[in-house]
A and B are shown apart, each in its own frame.
Chain A
């Protein structure tokens, strides 16, 4: 049995000689409280006033209960370095236009100005030549969702809609009076809407038009770019605050500059430009103007305004026709992700560029012609990333009804749902849909899908014979010949 006191405690014990009045305690530990019945050393050390009062001398108390083991050094796990800034984005946006392993398609014609609207080419795949490719690349016409990287060289399928657009562009070229074509391209996912826009740009470049491209309409509204309120001009205040987007304007001008450099060089000023722009009056061309905006985003907005005035208002010097292509326009038909100074949601139509493009597209009957020398506006919706904006789908349905010669007073004519709150901004556009033509992209015809699949076979991607029955099977598997789905089947690796 162990002692109930340790040796140290025992030595401190005092025998009290002083007799108490009532009772006597023969032995008492008075100096320290009784903490433990075993030993009191640590408790004594804790209460040791003498030790504590000594200054400067640090007495390290012995570690009786602390862990005595040696501490292991923490291993530093080697983390792999994350990729450099911007590398992932660059990879996401990388466009590869050729695959050296793919076979050269023998006897493939190039698409040129001569055979642009050749009806015989419908259902054929035609190659794009180098100069055109540079321009298309500069205006960001290619997208990662398109399968350019599979084939030896870029080529595109000419479908009936392509030829139709081409013929309208040729009409604009020939006609004396300026004419502006407005086309809204809709269609389900992978039905070739963006490619149709790209083909329109190709044809515009072939005819030396001025091409402005908005490859991703979503960029304008998703609050990933700078914006600033527009200074109100004039005495009467506008109904709502407008916002400019300097960096997006700069990007738009950059695309316009690089893809249209040759055309812009030849164009002189028709109108006076603002004094604060550092340009030489008289010798400056439109290229210098656009370059100024492309270099500096602070100049981007005034440069854009001056540029817009030059291409749209008629003047002494002639102007080429203008093509404006916007992809994913349904993002512009609702509230944006931007907020005002009062933290209220900014509508997409409060953004000046969006407002300008949409005002041009859905122009009211009484308004003047938008371009000095005519042109075309090609707006396409998105199939896979479409936001749910019922007012815009109503607008499309109305266009569709009108294409079927349905009168606006007919009972079947689509109207906003009762008790719904349609978007007032979008409703306002409906009065300007008179000139808008709807291109509803459906699946490819049998002849077109045959030409397309044979292109896959000749490029060495599809190891199959295209017979009538196998083509029918492919078309059946691709939703009746939806071009993107056909392309997926064409590259599917099967043994």
Chain B
């Protein structure tokens, strides 16, 4: 029994030629810039991988159509080229191409023969204004059409510009789309599901939430806004603090979201104090004022307001918070003092900013 694995002999490999899959033929313009989706608008953003215009795919530079070839030939020879819109009849091609004439089907051969016979007979009987035998060639105007033609109206208009169909009945629709996408730039910001509530309202709601009960927090927020709506107009000059708002004070209660925003933005601190270690040395930390982003500033203000509301005596949470908000609007409330304290500390510690930036002090 021969060994199973023959190490010495060369193994015969089964050679499978590449299967010939019929490839779809696309117009070259379509494949030049491949697109992922019809909505991927090539006009708005540059192609991420620019390709050289010289590069051509295997099927991108086919031979021209017979008629086009003939037209080019006729042009160089100074003859009148055939009409490109109309196809060239097979008989005409056979007449030019002798090889093809031999390989043509029997039916066509017969028709050529009979035509030449009748043509000569006509020639002999007809008047002599057509002198040569080439008079059998068609005049170019036939009583029937040999090609299928597109609708006259659209044929004039529709063409592809890169990937976009230009000249369709629905002009802005992308390739493959009947209707264009809606213009969402005109939609309000709140149409987005995740941004349907106002920014400040959403932030306060999330701060009110306890134990993940968002729906309860939203209910409370609703009540707070209602309470703001019902509260009397805040007196402008009380406490020396003014609300930052472009609305008159009288209009604030009826637009509770602007009222809430004005209150929160007015008491929001500009900075926070960070106790930075390792600069002074000896385990002491250096207070450094740090600027806050808008959302951070609002967060600080909301936390102060909620802390102030905790100390109130009202029975309902919504009432505690709304009373605290109104107190702040009228210049009372502990949040104003806290803001002042932070700002004062920041003023006194502002010299530390540079020290904090330059890093820990070197010992000499």
Contact = CB atoms under 8 A, between A and B. Distances in A.
Interface of A: 80-81, 83, 87-88, 91, 96, 99-103, 149-150, 460-461, 463, 491, 493-495
Contacts of B256: 493
Interface in B221-235: 225-226, 229-233
A464 to B, nearest CB: 12
Contact of B229 (A81, A99, A494, A495): A99
Contacts of A491: 226
10 contacts: A83-B315, A91-B316, A99-B229, A102-B254, A150-B230, A460-B254, A461-B229, A493-B201, A493-B257, A494-B190
Contacts of A101: 229-233, 253-254
Given A100-B232, A101-B233, A150 B226 contact: yes
Contacts of B255: 463, 493
Interface string B163-174: 000000000000
A150 B254 CA distance: 10
Contacts of A99: 229-230
A163 B253 CA distance: 36
A488 B226 CA distance: 11
Interface string B219-259: 00000011001111100000000000000000001111110
Interface of B: 190, 198, 201, 225-226, 229-233, 253-258, 313, 315-316
Nearest to B254: A460
A463 B229 CA distance: 14
A88 to B, nearest CB: 5
A350 B230 CA distance: 45
A447 B150 CA distance: 53
Contacts of A102: 229, 254
B230 A495 contact: no
A146 to B, nearest CB: 13
A494 B258 CA distance: 10
Nearest to B252: A101
Contacts of B233: 101
B313 A80 contact: yes
Nearest to A96: B230
Contacts of A493: 198, 201, 225, 229, 255-257
Given A91-B315, A463-B255, A493-B256, A149 B225 contact: no
A495 B256 CA distance: 10
Contacts of B258: 495
Nearest to A460: B254
Given A101-B254, A463-B255, A150 B229 contact: yes
A100 B250 CA distance: 12
Interface centre among B230, B233, B313 (most CB of A within 10 A): B230
Nearest to A82: B315
Contacts of B257: 493-495
B3 to A, nearest CB: 82
A87 B314 CA distance: 10
Contacts of A461: 229, 254
Given A101-B232, A493-B198, 14 more contacts: A88-B315, A91-B315, A100-B232, A101-B253, A102-B229, A102-B254, A149-B226, A149-B230, A150-B229, A493-B255, A493-B256, A493-B257, A494-B198, A495-B198
A486 B56 CA distance: 64
B234 to A, nearest CB: 11
Contacts of B225: 493
Q: List the 6 closest A-B pairs by CB distance, nearest first.
A: A101-B253, A460-B254, A99-B230, A493-B257, A83-B315, A493-B225
A147 to B, nearest CB: 9
Contacts of B190: 494-495
A495 to B, nearest CB: 5
Contacts of B253: 101
Nearest to B310: A80
A87 B257 CA distance: 30
A91 B320 CA distance: 13
A102 B254 CA distance: 7
A2 to B, nearest CB: 43
Contacts of A495: 190, 198, 257-258
A96 B226 CA distance: 13
B359 to A, nearest CB: 44
A279 B198 CA distance: 65
A79 to B, nearest CB: 12
Nearest to B189: A495
Contacts of A463: 255
Contacts of A88: 315
Nearest to B199: A495
B303 to A, nearest CB: 20
Nearest to A149: B230
Contacts of B313: 80-81, 83
Contacts of A91: 315-316
Contacts of B254: 101-103, 460-461
A85 to B, nearest CB: 12
Contact of A87 (B201, B229, B230, B315): B315
A67 B9 CA distance: 95
Contacts of A100: 232
Nearest to A98: B230
Nearest to B253: A101
Nearest to A100: B232
B307 to A, nearest CB: 15
A341 B149 CA distance: 99
Nearest to A103: B254
Contacts of B230: 96, 99, 101, 149-150
Nearest to B200: A495
Nearest to B198: A495
Nearest to A488: B222
Nearest to A81: B313
A223 to B, nearest CB: 25
A8 to B, nearest CB: 51
A491 B313 CA distance: 28
B145 to A, nearest CB: 51
A402 to B, nearest CB: 40
A495 B189 CA distance: 10
Contacts of B316: 91
A103 B230 CA distance: 12
Contacts of B231: 101
A149 B255 CA distance: 16
A283 B149 CA distance: 109
A83 to B, nearest CB: 5
Contacts of A96: 230
A149 B223 CA distance: 12
Contacts of B315: 83, 87-88, 91
A467 to B, nearest CB: 16
B227 to A, nearest CB: 10
B282 to A, nearest CB: 32
Nearest to A463: B255
Contacts of B198: 493-495
B61 to A, nearest CB: 55
A494 B200 CA distance: 12
B320 to A, nearest CB: 11
Contacts of A87: 315
A456 B135 CA distance: 89
A148 B313 CA distance: 26
Nearest to B196: A494
A292 B215 CA distance: 49
B190 to A, nearest CB: 7
